[in-house]
Amino acid sequence: MFIRRLILLAASLLGLWMLWVILLPAPGSLPPSTALTPDSWRVAEHTVSVLQRFELEARVLAREDYYLDRGAKLSPTDLALGWGPMADPEVLRHIDISQRNRWYFWTAKQLPIARRQIERHSANMHLIPANPGVAKTLAALKPGQQIRLSGQLVRVDGDDGYSWVSSLSREDTGDGACELIWVEQLAVLP
């Protein structure tokens, strides 16, 4: 009797999870945005506000896709990106990189460059595709590729009180140090 209930519960939870995934919008299929001002617009139940312009050429160190967290409807993918010395394959050969729960982690048995260089030349970035072309390119990115992206660092405020704000500094680390980017252009470099 207990095992049947447990199986029924597991099957029900699996069914609900599958329904949730099926009903989620595909990356890049955000509802159309409605401009409020030149520096803010509405997307679904959110107001997106520009903080400052952002451009970067970097190497994709890692990627993580999200489906179930609060930010997944707007930002389905995080990229851990490296530039300068953190884009050098010889340096990266000595560093293990991972992502989880919207964070980027690195470890090294022996530092190939100074710790502060690693911190100042790499970051986890939450990407909001501004159009289907960006979403398609983002969905195909793989670690090791060189990219160029441009857009806006933004603040997102949900109608329910939810708030997600981009860092504006490349000097910070830890909680709140990630960039939240409305990505208007994204290209893979040769």
Span 174-185, average pLDDT: 92
Instruction: Please report which residue ranges of the chain form alpha helices under DSSP H.
Output: 2-23, 89-92, 115-120, 132-140
pLDDT bracket for residue 8 (50, 70, 90): low
pLDDT tens track for 42-85: 988 899 999 999 999 999 999 999 998 889 989 999 999 999 99
pLDDT tens track for 15-38: 554 544 444 444 444 555 667 787
Out of 8-22, 60-74, 97-111, 170-184, least confident range: 8-22
Query: What is the three-class DSSP state of 97?
Result: strand
* Helix count and strand count (H, E) for the chain: 4, 10
Rounded to two decimals, the pTM is 0.82
Distance CA 125, CA 59 (A): 12
Locate tokens 């107001």: which residue?
A: 47
DSSP 71: T
- Delineate the domains of the chain, giving CATH numbers in brackets: 27-188 (2.40.50.140)
Span 116-134, average pLDDT: 96
Q: What percent of the chain has pLDDT over 90?
A: 71
